[in-house]
Structure 1
Amino acid sequence: MVDTAPTRNGCYHVNRKLLPIKAFYFFFLAAVGSLLPFIAIYMKSLGLTSSEAGILYGVMPFLGFFIRPIIGAVSDRWHKHKLALILFSVLTGVFYLLILAIPARVYPRLVVHSQLDCNVHDSYFQDCVSLSDKSVDPSTCDIGLSEFADHFSNSSSDFNCSVRCTEREDSVGDEVGACFTDSTEPFRKHCNGSSVANKPIEFELLNISHVLNNEVMSSRITMGTLHCRDYDLKSLRFDSKQYWQLLCDTAGFFKCEIKCETPPKQLCQSHTHEFDATFFWLFLVYLIANLVFSPVFSLADAANFDTLGKKHHKFGEQRLWGTVGFALLAIASTFTMYMMTNRGSSVDYTVPFYIFTVLCCLAGGSAYFMDLSSNVKCGSFFQNFLTLVCIPKVAVFLMVVTYFGMATGAIEGFLFWFLLDLGATTPVFGLSLVINCLFEVPMLYISGKIIKRTGPVPCLYLALLAVAVRFLGYSFLHDPWLVLLIEPLHGVTFGVMWAAASTTAAILAPPGMSATMQGLVGGLHFGIGKGAGSLLTGFLFDRVGERVTFQIYAIVSVCLLVLYFVLNHFVFKSHLTPQSSPDTDGKSDQSQENVPNDRPLLASSHAIPDKMCDGHPLPEMNHA
């Protein structure tokens, strides 16, 4: 038996019985921080579309909503909570590691066709297409420069392209002499740079946007079904040297192939590739990984409350170590990927998977040293479910909580996807996670004072407004680094929101149903809401675009804010006042509860709520 008495080493007070709990939260949430924020963009690197990623990322929270209470009930029945916690922690690491065995979807390399017109004054690509022509076979991924430019206009990322031009067969006259030069004067008798003659002209475009953003609009013409566009040619590299432009000693006309190494993948994607072997294998492995992952937090919380005994108010002190682990490994994992990317052309995601597996095993090892009683319980998630949702005020509140979950699913699943399309590098991802934590934790600590002064429902109004501003800000981003100015709002959209939602749930819960209410709030937010948000966002990204999707969320947030305000003030005609919220010292009104200590501690400025900046819930508060 582990000594439960605190020991004193110098000025530090250590409770040895609680060390395994702290270690478990640290290691497991460190694992979460090292990998899970990047799962959506890893799916993107495998070649999945946003719709497919939305399905994969969205279905899993639904399953967790139902699997978690089933596993908890089985553990309660056989009193094997420690064994279940160890087993599911280790299996989580193993099955996530198996995702690496799934091969990426292979798309053909993009080849862009155009015509190069070159003379003594300048050179430019001229792209003429017949509007009646059908698209080229998508399996070849051969497109015209105009089509490429239209796709590229939706992305601010940039990349190099190689160009190979041969003189057109219908060209007449003498051979054309080409000159790569930095001179801005017309071509003279001698080339002031590097000359090319009697062979195909091959060079690199250092910055494709230099071409696409310098379309000569005055030269755009449409004659019948023929549509022509000209693009000024600048910023070239020939024979390992950089030049400003290409000139020719006489008028020349060339047909060119432009091959780009890392173009936007959607250009080479076709819906005929969706839901192939890559998708279904990933769905299967990811499904199993999430099934074993889903009950871990409920089991850990049950063990935590059992170990604490009557000192439930110290729950946050143990859970805080998980936040520390999450933040540290999110930073470490991000910059590990960044350093490895400098040695290659693409981000290497393999290291976070290995780190995740090792940390999950260490978490399982920590669980082995937990000293649990035979009375530990995981609670009943679906108890009195229908009774609660049939109360109008409760039903509307749960609808609002579910929407907050949808917003969480949209941000966690697709914000990094969007930033990657803007050309973001891995430090942007890591710093955004750090800012989330830095602003969330202080807001959680002061949320109790805010709720006591204003009441919990006004805090939900504020959170809805902050969600609207946050999504609207995303929709206008062009520089991915500017997202760091928006992410502090996470302190309000989750920190204040979750404390207010948990407090509101405690106040609205009928006598004896506080634990069920808290479990329902957590399940709807992190299960149904998060899953629905991921599915919907993936679909909208694919159909209406990323910016419009974020604007839709902003509009819906404002509409829900107005609706919730009107219902509370003119229909229900009763308010949750600051005086009716739980006391800020974490004590509860026992007159309305049949189970002691059933009120949440979330309104307290000294307590940490069920979910920290790692993005995962602790859905039931009454485990003991």
Structure 2
Amino acid sequence: MGYLPRINKHTLPIKLHFFLYTSSVAPITCFSATIAKELGYSPLAVGYIFMYLYILGMLIKPAVGFIVDKFPIKKFIFMTSIVLCGISSFSLIFVPKIPLETAANFTCALEQTTINICLGNDQQLSECDDSLFADYKKEPITCKLDCEQNQSFRDEISKSWNVTDDDSINKLGVSLIINITERVEQCFVFPITYSQIGQTRVLSPVCYHPVENLCKIDCSNDDLMELATSKKFKGNVMKLHTFWLYMTLMSIAWGSMAVIWCHQDTICLDILGDKSENFGKLRFWTSVGYGSSSAIGGLLVDHFSHSGTHKNYTPIYYWGLILIILNFIVAFKLKVIEAKNPKNVFKNVLQIFTRFHVISFFLWTVCLGMCTSMLWNYLCWYLDDMAMEYQHGQDWIKTIQGLTFGIQCLGGEVPFFFFSGWIIKRIGHRHCMSLVLFAFAIRFFLYSILTNPFWVLPIEFLSGITYGLAMAVLISYSKCIAPPNTLNSVVGISQGLNDGVGVSLGALIGGVLYDTYGGSWTFQLFSHACLSLGILHVVYTLIGKPKI
């Protein structure tokens, strides 16, 4: 008989939970920023949104950690969070896009009448070249125009076109021949073959005196509408009910995820008992689930999308719902150690803040969160922009992004999670922290010089250090500094500082920099910051000689 590996039934449920839970949330979380972009939010708005969400997670994690250290309700909170996570994440499928303006300049002159669509400085579409409409036949494209109130425009159109119904002049229909489109600098010029105002049709319309007006348009051609649609909502999104629906669902989903992420780690440590060095060997199943599901999610999005510009995210919502239901069944069978009503939990936790080596660790977790935030919130956005700017792989960009997360998890994090205990034992927690900062510096610099999104794939192997080893260090060090009966609280604080303070600051700062300087410069600035912080941490470790 061949050798068959023995299955550890004691740790099997937590392994299955790690795999199924991360598989269920991976497609939603890894594409969350680009989903927000698809809904019409700007990089700065996304920065503010995710800053709020991560602050929410920062508040929830230590608060719930303190509660479960004090009261025996850990399993109840854990299971309730899984249910809320599944319902709210799936409900995002029903959130509509925010209304974006579709405007064009209607110009009537003695030579011809045209519709002019000009791109803003922030609009860079890969289709926007001279061959954009080359595949279209010489068939007319019809458009409906709703123009602004302008008396001189009304008077000239009425006189030049012999229109008697003045009330209909601001609402007119036109026909275009799209493949004789001209391009003048940042503007596309579409000649009008005829116009229709009420019952009056004018062939090859012209005006005796040139006039123009700004009009909202609705055309039968998708590419033309893509050009005319503003890329950002220019009003106050907080006045839109769609924004508050989105924020409510994201708050419930993010808050419940924060509880699950925090307490699944402490449940794992409870199961391991005094063998906490094996934490990474169990935790790597989160990377297996996240990586494989992200890759599948990217393939599903590209397969069911009929445009390189607009993506259909519907399949990943159903994919996540199926997996979260399976995870609930598995998690229900987890053995959870409940609190035994310890005393002075809050007082014991406060004591650790008087130790400088603990404070320096917490500062490191904040820096870790800021760097991680750039990857979570802006890497996919950066790859989208790169594909549009350099016209590489736009039709399959979601597959590339899915493979990016797949390599991050399977190629990088899995081996480093598995061997994290051995690495920490060999070089120590502090040197591991320095190594993480240097790896981030290299990773961000390589992003900044990319021109083809395909080449992001080999860079993602560095995720083994920047996430796999980093998370193992964070949880392991938290256990080392935690006073008796305060593990949930200390882990909650560590993860709250990482996911709350660090990631929220990273989302905000990254959003401001990305909106101002673009993706390449933003990643380069973060690279320089990580290099500087890594050097400072090495100096502190060698000179300060922290206790742990």
Q: TM-score, normalised by structure 2?
A: 0.72
Q: Percent identity, aligned pairs only?
A: 24
2:399: which partner in 1? 427
Of residues 527, 530, 545 in structure 2, which corresponds to 1:575?
A: 545
Of residues 434, 437, 442 in structure 1, which corresponds to 2:415?
A: 442
CA 1:455–1:297 in structure 2 vs 1: closer, same or farther (change >3 Å)?
Answer: closer
The amino acid that maps onto 2:81 is F
Equivalent-residue separation in structure 2 for 1:266 and 1:474 (angstroms): 28
- RMSD of aligned Cα (Å): 4.6
CA 1:430–1:284 in structure 2 vs 1: closer, same or farther (change >3 Å)?
Answer: same
Q: Is the 8 A contact 1:47 1:265 kept in 2?
A: no
- Is 1:400 aligned with 2:373? no
Query: Residues 21-60 of structure 1: matches in 2 within 5 Å?
Result: 21-60=14-53
Equivalent-residue separation in structure 2 for 1:343 and 1:55 (angstroms): 29
Q: Deviations over 1:294-351 (max 9, x none)?
A: 2123443444444455554554444333332222222221111111014897311122
CA 1:479–1:266 in structure 2 vs 1: closer, same or farther (change >3 Å)?
Answer: farther
Equivalent-residue separation in structure 1 for 2:106 and 2:179 (angstroms): 15
Q: Deviations over 1:210-246 (max 9, x none)?
A: x68xx6xxxxxxxxxxxxx9x999xxxxxxxxxxxxx
CA 1:493–1:268 in structure 2 vs 1: closer, same or farther (change >3 Å)?
Answer: closer
Equivalent-residue separation in structure 2 for 1:77 and 1:488 (angstroms): 41
Q: Deviations over 1:557-610 (max 9, x none)?
A: 2332343344445xxx2336xxx87xxxxxxxxxxxxxxxxxxxxxxxxxxxxx
2:6: which partner in 1? 13
Query: Residues 383-532 of structure 1: matches in 2 within 5 Å?
Result: 384-422=348-386, 423=388, 424=394, 425-437=397-409, 438-448=411-421, 450-451=423-424, 454-500=427-473, 509=481, 515=487, 519-532=492-505
Equivalent-residue separation in structure 2 for 1:378 and 1:98 (angstroms): 39
SS of alignment partner, residue 31 of structure 2: helix
CA 1:449–1:13 in structure 2 vs 1: closer, same or farther (change >3 Å)?
Answer: closer
SS of alignment partner, residue 440 of structure 2: helix
Equivalent-residue separation in structure 1 for 2:43 and 2:288 (angstroms): 31
Equivalent-residue separation in structure 2 for 1:86 and 1:329 (angstroms): 22
Equivalent-residue separation in structure 2 for 1:459 and 1:302 (angstroms): 22
Q: Is the 8 A contact 2:13 2:333 kept in 1?
A: yes
Equivalent-residue separation in structure 2 for 1:50 and 1:487 (angstroms): 23
Equivalent-residue separation in structure 2 for 1:559 and 1:489 (angstroms): 19
Query: Residues 206-217 of structure 1: matches in 2 within 5 Å?
Result: none
1:368: which partner in 2? 332
SS of alignment partner, residue 89 of structure 2: helix
- Is 1:284 aligned with 2:248? yes
2:321: which partner in 1? 357
Q: Is the 8 A contact 1:388 1:517 kept in 2?
A: no
Query: Residues 558-573 of structure 1: matches in 2 within 5 Å?
Result: 558-569=531-542, 573=543
Equivalent-residue separation in structure 2 for 1:379 and 1:93 (angstroms): 35
The amino acid that maps onto 2:416 is M
Gaps of 5+ in 2: 143-155, 157-173, 190-209, 389-393
CA 1:74–1:342 in structure 2 vs 1: closer, same or farther (change >3 Å)?
Answer: same
Deviation of 1:378 (Å)? 12
2:177: which partner in 1? 202
Q: Deviations over 1:58-84 (max 9, x none)?
A: 222222222234334444555343333
Deviation of 1:33 (Å)? 1.7
Q: Is the 8 A contact 1:69 1:380 kept in 2?
A: no
Equivalent-residue separation in structure 2 for 1:372 and 1:449 (angstroms): 27
Equivalent-residue separation in structure 2 for 1:482 and 1:505 (angstroms): 36
- Is 1:552 aligned with 2:525? yes
Deviation of 1:480 (Å)? 2.0
Deviation of 1:293 (Å)? 2.7
Deviation of 1:447 (Å)? 4.6
Q: Deviations over 1:362-383 (max 9, x none)?
A: 2111122234455689999966
Deviation of 1:529 (Å)? 0.7
SS of alignment partner, residue 376 of structure 2: helix
Q: Deviations over 1:107-142 (max 9, x none)?
A: 1225367999x9xxxxxxx9xxxxxxxxxxxxxxx9
The amino acid that maps onto 2:501 is I
Comparing 370-379 and 45-54, the one that deviates more = 370-379
CA 1:262–1:476 in structure 2 vs 1: closer, same or farther (change >3 Å)?
Answer: farther
Q: Deviations over 1:491-523 (max 9, x none)?
A: 23223444455666677x487699466554333
Equivalent-residue separation in structure 1 for 2:358 and 2:446 (angstroms): 31
SS of alignment partner, residue 451 of structure 2: coil
CA 1:314–1:574 in structure 2 vs 1: closer, same or farther (change >3 Å)?
Answer: closer
CA 1:266–1:546 in structure 2 vs 1: closer, same or farther (change >3 Å)?
Answer: farther
The amino acid that maps onto 2:178 is F
CA 1:155–1:503 in structure 2 vs 1: closer, same or farther (change >3 Å)?
Answer: farther
Of Structure 1 and Structure 2, the greater helix share is in: 2
1:102: which partner in 2? 95
Equivalent-residue separation in structure 2 for 1:548 and 1:344 (angstroms): 26
Q: How many residues align?
A: 480
SS of alignment partner, residue 178 of structure 2: strand
Equivalent-residue separation in structure 2 for 1:308 and 1:459 (angstroms): 23
Deviation of 1:530 (Å)? 1.1
Deviation of 1:478 (Å)? 2.9
CA 1:265–1:356 in structure 2 vs 1: closer, same or farther (change >3 Å)?
Answer: farther
The amino acid that maps onto 1:479 is N
Q: Is the 8 A contact 1:381 1:519 kept in 2?
A: no
Equivalent-residue separation in structure 2 for 1:444 and 1:81 (angstroms): 26
Deviation of 1:409 (Å)? 1.0
CA 1:52–1:477 in structure 2 vs 1: closer, same or farther (change >3 Å)?
Answer: same
Equivalent-residue separation in structure 2 for 1:11 and 1:567 (angstroms): 48
1:608: which partner in 2? none
CA 1:495–1:109 in structure 2 vs 1: closer, same or farther (change >3 Å)?
Answer: same
Equivalent-residue separation in structure 2 for 1:97 and 1:85 (angstroms): 19
Equivalent-residue separation in structure 2 for 1:548 and 1:57 (angstroms): 21
Equivalent-residue separation in structure 2 for 1:559 and 1:460 (angstroms): 14
SS of alignment partner, residue 13 of structure 1: coil
Deviation of 1:31 (Å)? 0.5
Flag the structure with larger Rg.
1
Q: Is the 8 A contact 2:281 2:418 kept in 1?
A: no
Deviation of 1:352 (Å)? 1.3
- Is 1:337 aligned with 2:307? no
CA 1:513–1:36 in structure 2 vs 1: closer, same or farther (change >3 Å)?
Answer: same
